Amino acid sequence: MIRKMVLTSLMFFAIGSTLMAADISGAWYYERTAANGRKTEGYYVFKADGNKFTGRSITSRSREEIVNGVVDGNQISFDVKSWQPTGKPAAYKGTLNEDELRFTQAQVPQKGQPQETILKRVSPSTEFNPPPSLAALMPQHKPLPPFKPIKSNGLAKIPPMGWNSWNKFHAAIDDKTVREIADAMVSSGMKDAGYVYLNIDDTWEGKRDANGNILTNERFPDMKALADYVHAKGLKIGIYSGPGRTTCQGLEASYMHEEQDAKSFAAWGIDYLKYDWCSASAVFDAAEMPAAYQKMALALRATGRPIIYSLCQYGWLDVGKWGADAGGNLWRTTGDISDRWASMSNIGFGQNGREIYAAPGHWNDPDMLEIGNGAMTAAEYRTHMSLWCMLAAPLLAGNDLRKMTPETIEILTNKEVIAIDQDKLGRQGARVKQDGELEIWKKPLAGGVAVALFNRSAAAAKMTVRWADLGIKKNPKVRDLWAHTDVQAHAEYSVEVPSHGVVMLRVK
Ligand code: GLA
């Protein structure tokens, strides 16, 4: 009996330890077709140490780090590390049976079934020759020079002003339209109001020539000639690329061609580069983002041409903390804006707290303006303009400058409001008071302060600002920047603010 028990437990122990030792090490391949027919292919590489493992996943769209892996019998669990420093990792669980591995997300946040990923072991080692279909997906991961804080390029001492093609035109942008916008920028008074940069966003890109030089597509037959045209108007010109292999529209981007592209841009006469992360997660780890941005900053500087450098990575990885050190003059803080009150106001009012990162030479960028694109009211567009100026945000109009109503021109070219944005002290404003949907914001200026009373609610509201609350002495000189009138206000100022509207003051 005792013998039998010992034998059984020995057998149990033996089976248990084989299960414990199930080895996940090696390279694993998967292919999956989503309900919408979209195929994803990729591979995972795992390295085991006892029953613990780490690894990474690489697909055509992303490169992710795997941590906290545990093999327990044939059960596995692991976490995919979040890109956000404060973000939670995503937990996965599944089973490992010889050369087949299956897993799903441990908690599925949205409704519906968790999607299972089924992988086949393609190599027992992390070094392997990928099949041709995969090799095409997998660019060589070229290590970047280590990140080292670099000094400012001396540009953008005040927030850049100009126009960008994306919000209105998306992919329907071409040489002719850019020239007409340049003409309109001058004739509409936009140039006089301070708008200088004419930025071509995504979809100008063609293929590369035999020497790897980036080419324009047929809609931009001669970028140098276009830049000359824009410069002849006293304006400057900007362009768009990214650190990945492709842009957000799937066109050629600058991965492994950074120096070459910077030289092409400089040779064309480019004055501003927006560098958009997009597909770069497929070639870089999250932690490499600052170094990937810095690489292009250095490449631009090496050309000797002054080029404003705009980081577009949607605010990931606390960009305010390293954007300037990476060589950026501005960095996006959020996802894309749209011409809707909810989008604009959530983005704009959500900037509070980021003022610590803005200073002359480098700015938070809450995205381009939607003023004049038609889906918001005049009051909402005035709020948009006022808020962006309170935020010392780059002012990049995103509408069709050739077809502006007098009201759109009046909002975009209000010089008293623009002066708040362009104030040389270079401080971003912040919220000082909030009463439900009524907010008071303050921005320190080289002389005095700007104060904005915002009413985010659905009805007009009376708002009062007390100077004492803002540290302002009694009887200041006050000017209403939208009414263009001086205001008498001894100890406080009360005013009716329209729904979704603003009253903006300069107080001395
Ligand atoms: C991203 C950016 C946008 C725009 C598009 C172009 O979405 O955030 O501002 O540049 O790409 O494809």
Check if 336 has its Cβ closer than 6 Å to any atom of ligand 1. yes
The pLDDT-based confidence of 131 (bands split at 50, 70, 90) is low
- Does 10 have pLDDT greater than 50? no
Q: Which two tokens stand for residue 181?
A: 């916008």
Q: How far apart are the first and last CA of the chain?
A: 97
- Record: fold of 19-137: Lipocalin (2.40.128)
The pLDDT-based confidence of 139 (bands split at 50, 70, 90) is low
- The share of the chain scoring above pLDDT 70, in percent, equals 91
3-state secondary structure of 263: helix
Among candidate residues 23, 79, 336, 480, the one labeled active-site is 336
The structural domains of the chain, with segments of one domain joined by +, span 19-137, 161-428, 431-507
Among protein residues, the one with the nearest Cα to ligand 1's atom 1 is 248
Among candidate residues 101, 78, 79, 98, the one with its CA nearest the CA of residue 88:
79
Check if 166 has its Cβ closer than 6 Å to any atom of ligand 1. yes
Check if 200 has its Cβ closer than 6 Å to any atom of ligand 1. no
Q: Which two tokens stand for residue 468?
A: 């004492």
At residue 6, what is the residue type? V
3-state secondary structure of 146: coil
Choose which CATH entry (3.20.20.70, 3.50.50.60, 3.30.420.40, 3.90.1150.10) describes domain 161-428.
Answer: 3.20.20.70
Ligand 1: which atom is nearest the Cα of residue 312? 8
Q: Which two tokens stand for residue 440?
A: 């008071």
- Does 450 have pLDDT greater than 70? yes
Among candidate residues 174, 175, 271, 276, the one labeled active-site is 276
Check if 196 has its Cβ closer than 6 Å to any atom of ligand 1. no
Q: Is 276 a catalytic residue?
A: yes
Ligand 1: which atom is nearest the Cα of residue 170? 6
Give the pairing type, strands 63-72 and 52-59.
Answer: antiparallel
Of 163, 165, 166, the residue with max ligand 1 atoms within 8 A of its CB, to mutate for a pocket test, comes to 166
Check if 370 has its Cβ closer than 6 Å to any atom of ligand 1. no
Residue 12: predicted pLDDT:
38
The pLDDT-based confidence of 62 (bands split at 50, 70, 90) is confident
The pLDDT-based confidence of 111 (bands split at 50, 70, 90) is low
Of 312, 338, 367, 370, the residue with max ligand 1 atoms within 8 A of its CB, to mutate for a pocket test, comes to 312
Q: Which two tokens stand for residue 350?
A: 């959500």
Q: What is the mean pLDDT of the chain?
A: 91
Ligand 1: which atom is nearest the Cα of residue 332? 8
* pLDDT tens string 410-426: 999 999 999 999 999 99
Q: Is 336 a catalytic residue?
A: yes
In DSSP terms, 431 is beta-bridged to: 441
Residue 17: predicted pLDDT:
41
* pLDDT tens string 457-506: 999 999 999 999 999 999 999 999 999 999 999 999 999 999 999 999 99
Residue 404: predicted pLDDT:
98
Among the ranges given (28-37, 129-138, 208-217), the one the predictor scored with the smallest mean pLDDT: 129-138
Distances (CA, A) of 485 to 93, 101, 386, 415, 481: 65, 71, 16, 14, 7
Query: What CATH code would you report for 431-507?
Result: 2.60.40.1180
Q: What DSSP character marks residue 387?
A: H
Q: Which two tokens stand for residue 114?
A: 């968790």
Which of 60-64, 121-125, 139-143, 362-366: highest mean pLDDT?
362-366
What average pLDDT does the segment 373-378 reach?
Answer: 98
- Better-scored residue on pLDDT, 138 or 395: 395
